[in-house]
């Protein structure tokens, strides 16, 4: 255990009581609590529909299948991201085209994205990495010019916004994670938002084994091959109770991030990633760029402070580098910089300024 952990899930007495109520009800599978959680996420994001699923990964798969993407199609993804972003493209049988990221924001490089478009390209999965919103002005220009679907991997971006519009209402389909490292968690799980009712109905059917509308003759009618990606009432109860605190949690994360940014201003050997212009960051993860990142990370952990790499550069991994369903475009200089230098610092609800000071003092010392 670390003296100062990377993140702490917010587990209140009210949350425990909500879970107990579900246990006492005996109705543990997907049901009314899950529906309420979906409605709360949709309302918060300003989206027409929300579907709760087993993970962000299965949510991304659902989105691609709803859009009819499969063998013979290409989907463009950034190199600097968690592997699931590209893996789901292969899972549906399509080719993942992997492009570089901007070295300052660590978000997908829009020029590299546009240069990678071919006649087989059907969609893009841009990642609003660490809670930094995407530049939807530029992405919408590309979407319209090439007729592409935008499926946002918004795993870390609940609560962020661009030009006053919440993440979750900007892409064709957006997918959030509720893994324990996320500040709104369900233990494991994800949510999918869209303004397209037809896609939402298709995804709802697919995650319920392909079940369609009920018939008077034989009950439920299975209209397609599907699977089980449902979120239980039990997990949804955790997320639902946390959504009651979402604005307070976001405000605290932003306050803590502002403290870090103010105290890091001008610090030798440390630089900060850029925030998207006209965007409001949700600060799911607070990253800095440092030299000798791996040594710094090891020294800080030895001092009792849990720090972590940002995420992964896909082209460095066999699963993507040696894969006939992946095409790597560009030299990945931006992604390599991010992978070698990005360090995630602790940030959690209830973190004190003294704890932040210790994090920064230790960081400066080991540098």
Domain that holds residue 3: 1-367
Contacts of 321 (CB under 8 A, 6+ apart): 315, 328
Q: Could you report the per-residue pLDDT of 304-336, keeping only the tens digit for each?
A: 999 999 999 999 999 999 999 999 999 999 999
Pairing verdict, β 211-215 and 190-194: unpaired
- Pairwise CA distance, residues 148 & 166, whole Å: 21
CATH (domain of 168):
3.40.640.10
pLDDT, position 215 = 46
Q: Could you report the per-residue pLDDT of 206-259, keeping only the tens digit for each?
A: 999 999 855 445 567 888 999 999 999 999 999 999 999 999 999 999 999 999
> For the chain, what percent of residues have pLDDT higher than 70?
98
- pLDDT of 41 above 60: yes
Number of domains in the chain: 1
Please state the rounded mean pLDDT for residues 171-197: 97
Contacts of 281 (CB under 8 A, 6+ apart): 131, 132, 133, 160, 254, 257, 275
Please state the rounded mean pLDDT for residues 332-354: 98
Q: How many other CB atoms are found less than 10 A from the CB of residue 205?
A: 18
Please state the rounded mean pLDDT for residues 98-126: 98
């Amino acid at each position: 255990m670390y003296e100062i952990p990377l993140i702490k899930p917010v587990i209140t007495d009210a949350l425990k009581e909500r879970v107990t109520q579900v246990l006492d009800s005996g109705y543990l599978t997907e049901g009314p609590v899950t529906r309420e959680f979906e409605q709360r996420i949709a309302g918060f994001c300003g989206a027409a529909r929300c579907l709760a699923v087993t993970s962000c990964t299965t949510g991304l798969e659902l989105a691609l299948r709803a859009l009819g993407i499969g063998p013979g199609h290409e989907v463009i993804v950034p190199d600097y991201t968690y592997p699931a972003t590209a893996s789901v493209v292969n899972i549906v049988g399509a080719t993942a085209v992997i492009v570089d990221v901007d070295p300052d924001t660590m978000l997908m490089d829009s020029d590299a994205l546009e240069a990678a478009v071919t006649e087989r390209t059907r969609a893009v999965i841009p990642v609003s990495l660490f809670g930094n919103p995407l530049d939807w002005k530029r992405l919408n220009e590309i979407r319209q010019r090439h007729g592409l679907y935008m499926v946002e991997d918004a795993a870390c971006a609940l609560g962020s916004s661009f030009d006053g519009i919440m993440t979750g209402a900007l892409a064709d389909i957006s997918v959030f994670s509720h893994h324990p490292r996320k500040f709104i968690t369900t233990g494991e799980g994800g949510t999918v938002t869209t303004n397209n009712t037809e896609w939402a109905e298709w995804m709802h059917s697919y995650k319920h084994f392909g079940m369609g509308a009920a018939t008077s003759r034989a009950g439920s009618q299975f209209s397609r091959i599907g699977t089980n990606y449902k979120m239980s009432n039990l997990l949804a109860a955790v997320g639902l109770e946390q959504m009651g605190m979402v604005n307070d949690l976001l405000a605290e994360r932003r306050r803590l991030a502002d403290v870090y940014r103010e105290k890091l201003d001008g610090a030798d050997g440390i630089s900060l990633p850029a925030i998207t212009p006209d965007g409001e960051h949700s600060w799911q993860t607070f990253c800095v760029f440092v030299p000798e990142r791996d040594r710094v990370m090891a020294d800080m952990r030895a001092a009792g402070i849990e720090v972590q790499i940002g995420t992964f550069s896909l082209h460095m991994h066999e699963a993507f580098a040696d894969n006939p369903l992946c095409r790597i475009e560009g030299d990945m200089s931006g992604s390599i910089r991010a992978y070698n230098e990005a360090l995630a610092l602790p940030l959690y609800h209830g973190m004190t300024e003294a704890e932040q000071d210790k994090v920064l003092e230790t960081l400066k010392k080991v540098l």
